[in-house]
Amino acid sequence: MSSMIFGLLVVTSTAGTVSTSSTSVESSPALPTAGVREAPASPSPTLSFDRRVEDAGAAWGVYTRASSQIPRAESGFATVSGLGALVRFEAGAEYAPWSPVQGVSFEAGLSTGLQTRRILETADAKLAVTSLQVSAVYRRPVWSYFGAYARATGGLDIGHLAVSERLGDFEIDDVAVAYSAAGALGAELLVPVGYTQSGSLERADQWLSFHFEVGYALASAFRFDEMQRDLPSDSDPARIATSTIDAGSLRLDGFLWRMGAAFRF
């Protein structure tokens, strides 16, 4: 695998097509090249990254990522987070209509994050955020198996804020909804892991992606203005009517980073 990565590719782009010239590393004339490897009994290898791209066609994929959003100091987030960042786990599916390694692709998935903080000696605050995210990604190969991409993401965020006494029985909580949009730039390492036979060559049709990106998110505010004790409302006898508490607003906009892996096929 490592020998493949050292295959030297020079990628240029003209009028929507990608052509690639390649020079093998000196004294390693038989090194395989990206996405294409020589069949056991084949003639000398052809450097055909462009062919790989053209032939790849549509691809599906799944991804899992860790991300962290760093809200601004005045966002109210500091109340619930000693760390100052909302760490999330993301998972979802992607679809690349034209190519798994370049061009436009689309993603949809879920993201969940949790922050807890002991806000006082006897009290804990907990913020859980679950997001439905959709993204559009544009990828460009840069060098060898490395690529760069830009991502635009929109999200529907559901926040659950709960405050509880350490020795108490119940928590006071509320659920709020916010919307977010984010832009990010990232780098990707694409590793072919599955091949199909194409004439004398094997062409990659399964890829692992390892990627890292940074960006900025804009988000509307979570408005936790109906905090109340988390108790059944349909008890018999009914509970005394309860008025809610306005705990204020919390915004998650700020810088973000993501890192993760995807499998495309």
Partner 1 sequence: MPRPVSIAVLCTLVFAACSGEDEALTEALVVVGPRVVADHLVWVDQTTARVAWVASDTVVESTEIDRDDVRSAVFGPEHVTLLAGGDEPAAVRVAIPGGEVDVVPLSSTFDRAFLSASGRYLVAIHDARFARSSPVVAINNNEIAIVDLDSQSARRVALDTESTAPRDVVFSADESRAAIVLDADVVVVDLAADGIVRVPLKLPNGDRLAPEQVVFNADANYLFLRTSGTADVVALELLGEGSTTSGVLNFLAVPGAERLLDLAVADDPAYVLAAFRAPEGRTIAARLAADGDVSETRTVELAGQATRIALLENRTVLLHGSPDRIGSSGNAFVGGWDLEDDLVEQDALAGPTMGPAAVGAGTAFFVHAAEGGSATALTALALRREDVRLSVALRPLVLGGNVRDYAFSSADERVVVGVDILREDSGAAPLPARPYGEPNDTTGALAVVDAETLAIESVVLDDPIVVVGVLGDHLYAVHPGAFGDVTFVPRASIERGAARRVDGVLLSGLLDRTGGAR
Q: Name the residues that contact partner 1, by CB under 8 A.
A: 1, 66, 68, 74, 76, 78-83, 85, 87, 89, 113-123, 125, 161, 163, 165, 168-169, 172, 191, 208, 210, 224, 227-229, 231-232, 235-250
Cα 13 to Cα 23: distance, rounded to the nearest angstrom: 18
| SS3 (DSSP) at 146 | strand
β partners of residue 238: none
Cβ count within 10 A of residue 1: 7
Q: Which is nearer to partner 1, 148 or 172 (CB)?
A: 172
Q: Which is nearer to partner 1, 106 or 166 (CB)?
A: 166
Q: Which is nearer to partner 1, 39 or 187 (CB)?
A: 187
Report which of 118, 70, 74, 67 is spatially closest to residue 250, judged by C-alpha positions. Answer: 74
Q: Which is nearer to partner 1, 26 or 234 (CB)?
A: 234
What lies within 8 Å, CB to CB, of 197 at 6+ separation is: 39
Radius of gyration of the chain (CA): 25
Dihedral over Cα of 73, 79, 84, 87: its sign:
negative
User: In the bound complex, what is the minimum distance in angstroms from residue 159's beta carbon to partner 1?
Assistant: 11
User: In the bound complex, what is the minimum distance in angstroms from residue 62's beta carbon to partner 1?
Assistant: 17
Cα 43 to Cα 35: distance, rounded to the nearest angstrom: 17
User: In the bound complex, what is the minimum distance in angstroms from residue 233's beta carbon to partner 1?
Assistant: 10
Q: Which is nearer to partner 1, 54 or 246 (CB)?
A: 246
